[in-house]
Homo-oligomer: A and B are copies of this chain.
Amino acid sequence: MKLTILGCYSATPRALNNTTSQVLEINNHMFLIDCGEGTQVQLRKHKIKFNRIKHIFISHLHGDHFFGLVGLISTFRLLTRETDLHIYGPKGIKEVVTLQMKLADSWTNYNLIFHELTSDKSEIIFEDEKVIVKTIPLDHRIYTNGFLFKEKEGERKLDINAVEEAQVDLAYYRKLKQGFDVVNEEGTIIKNETVTKAGIKPKSYAFCSDTKYKESIVPIIKNVSVLYHESTFLDKHENIAAKTKHSTAKEAASIAKQAQVGTLLLGHYSTRYDSLNDFKKEAQEVFDNVELTDDGKTFEF
């Protein structure tokens, strides 16, 4: 699982600060999460192949999270893309994209499939054999979702000595890997856990931006390997955070602690602060394993 931060600053793009966009590589997927203005240039800079992006997840329709979307869609068209593109985002996203295509009289040759979100409950929005994606309903000034990306439980590993000793026929190995009990050549039931071990632990990533402090997301993101939680402000500006429905670094850490996540990533920083390290320090007073995102940074988990 690899995460590339294309942009992690709030409000407006600047020469050295890009607004929110991330690429999550998980189980052969390249998921693009949010798409602030200039994301297509950031993708080029980081040499991410446009054609590998098949799913784009937009948290909400504030400009710093989606003003780059229509440009990216348009560039895909100019590059004669043929691969389907799925867009997941709040209701309205289809209208605003198609209006711009209509005004430009520029329709995509590839299939553009919108999955508009309206629910305020967590729901599965993507699923294949290996990965599942769920929404994380957040609480911001407008309708906003975070996204939970989760690998499915992998196959169990055979304890080959135990299997042979139990005289299980080769034909049943697959069932064992899938977690079932089987019957051996002598008709005895072989309990799965006696001949297999847990497979590779599935990884998971939760993206939570933008939101005010919201404890009710804890059950949804419980035990995720990595949590990105916005921390627009420091605790000293808690009142501005509350007013604008954003979080402080301390609040992000509190959510991480309650959800017992592996690693907490901070981001969506207000540019009013001189040093990002203050965010890390503040969060680490509550939760130990904290990392700072920054534009261009990659994380492998």
A154 to B11, CA, bound (A): 44
A59 close to chain B: CB less than 8 A: no
A49 close to chain B: CB less than 8 A: no
A141 to B159, CA, bound (A): 66
Complex interface: chain B residues within 8 A of A105 (CB) = 141-142
Name the interface size band of chain A: 20 to 34
Task: Name A18's closest neighbour in chain B (CB-CB).
Answer: B41
Partner of A96, one of B92, B103, B141: B103
Among residues 135 to 176 in chain A, which have CB atoms less than 8 Å away from a CB atom of chain B? Answer: 141-142
Among residues 220 to 269 in chain A, which have CB atoms less than 8 Å away from a CB atom of chain B? Answer: none
A14 close to chain B: CB less than 8 A: yes
A219 to B45, CA, bound (A): 44
A40 to B12, CA, bound (A): 9
* Per-residue contact bits, chain A 29-43, to B (CB 8 Å; 1 contact, 0 not): 000000001101100
Report which A residues bind B (CB closer than 8 A): 11-15, 37-38, 40-41, 44-45, 61-63, 67-68, 70-71, 74-75, 78, 90, 92-93, 95-96, 99-100, 103-106, 141-142
